[in-house]
Amino acid sequence: MSSTDTERADHLRVLGLNDDEIRVYQHLLRAGPASITELDEAVPGQAVGIDATLGGLVQAGLARRSGSDHSRFLPVPPDAGLEALTLRRESELKQARIEVLNAYDEFRRTVHNEATTHLIEVVSGTAIVERINQIKGSAQREILAIDSPPYFLGAGPNQMEIEQLNRGVTYRVVYSPESVEVPGYLTENILPCVEAGEQARVLPDVPAKLTIIDGSIAYVSMSVRDTDVNRSLLIMRPSSLLTALIGMFELCWRNALPLHASVGTEDDRLEPIERRLLALLATGAADDTIARTLGISRRTFFRYLERLMNRTGASTRFQLALHAARENWL
């Protein structure tokens, strides 16, 4: 079997086809219309008879009878069949989810009978990364985050977020100044995610590291100002505590400054590099970090900064930031 056939088989298996149905369907795609006898000989070793296998493909909307005597079978346009398979699979997954939740509730009532145990889960050590990936990977609508070092998943590119943004998951992230000071984190992680659609803001002082998934589950840990090691992760499920965490995020979001220039804002008085410089200033990044990110010398950075302050009449960077926010430059 070729690598293409193997990959296709994996996808068909996800849709609910069994191995015999996949092998027969693959043969029909390669060879075209075939009789029952030809298929039985071409695909030996089936667990069930060829009649049952073909019946499954016909029922799934992937094959039909052809010929004057209806003795041959051929693949058909799969649109309707795939839709039916997808809906059936979704129904099965929902039912399985209900069964798992019911089984866990039964466990909690009979084996681990503590009324609030299921609301908070404490994770530590090497299990932290696995649980974070599980929770973030389940996002369907929105992820809210307050970002600060140290990082459980490292500070490199965030491919999972970019993939989720591409499939429509909304990200709103409040960054701490320490985030942009981590070597490479701004250019390799934050900015690529912003370019992919993340809404990003920065707050001078964040209360905790927090991620909220679809408003239904969250995980929280200490920020870099509270700890310098990855000690533990608290996972919160629907409760008054989760509601409070969502409220805390929204409060931080309202008080934070945009991390990047607003898309579509036009102002002839500003050059693109000046907009980028103002956005980086808002993060609280050090002068050397800003200059390195912009690809300019420290001297050129100060020349741009001086020109902006003279243009706005600002005598301090704080006044410059206020003017930039008031003029919607950020």
* 217-242 per-position pLDDT tens digit: 999 886 544 544 446 788 888 888 88
* 157-187 per-position pLDDT tens digit: 789 999 999 999 999 999 888 887 788 888 8
| Ranges 26-40, 62-76, 145-159, 259-273: which has the least confidence | 259-273
Select the more confidently predicted residue: 298 or 126. Answer: 298
Q: Does residue 219 contact residue 233 with C-beta atoms inside 8 Å?
A: yes
Q: What is the pLDDT of residue 3?
A: 56
- The answer to whether residue 298 scores a pLDDT higher than 50 is yes
Angle (CA) 316 319 323, round 5°: 140
**Is the pTM here over 0.85, yes or no?**
no
Q: Does residue 60 contact residue 81 with C-beta atoms inside 8 Å?
A: yes
Average pLDDT over residues 125-148: 88
Element holding 84 (H helix, E strand): helix 79-110
Q: What is the pLDDT of residue 122?
A: 83
- The answer to whether residue 198 scores a pLDDT higher than 90 is yes
Coil vs helix vs strand at 128: helix
Percentage of residues in the chain having pLDDT higher than 70? 78
- The answer to whether residue 304 scores a pLDDT higher than 50 is yes
DSSP 118: G
Q: Does residue 43 contact residue 23 with C-beta atoms inside 8 Å?
A: yes
* 12-27 per-position pLDDT tens digit: 777 778 888 888 888 8
Q: What does R_g of the chain's alpha carbons equal in angstroms?
A: 28
| Ranges 39-48, 111-120, 143-152: which has the least confidence | 111-120
Q: What are phi and psi of 232, to 5 degrees?
A: -155, 165
- The answer to whether residue 85 scores a pLDDT higher than 80 is no
DSSP 189: I
Percentage of residues in the chain having pLDDT higher than 90? 14
Q: Tell me the two tokens of residue 210.
A: 């927090």
What HEC string does 251-311 produce? HHHHHCEECCCCCCCCCCCCCHHHHHHHHHHHHCCCHHHHHHHHCCCHHHHHHHHHHHHHH
Best CA proximity match to 289, nearest among 229, 150, 315, 279: 279
**Residue located via tokens 């409760």:** 239
Q: Does residue 222 contact residue 208 with C-beta atoms inside 8 Å?
A: yes
Q: What is the pLDDT of residue 197?
A: 92
Nearest-angstrom CA–CA distance, 94 and 73: 33
* Amino acid identity at 142: E
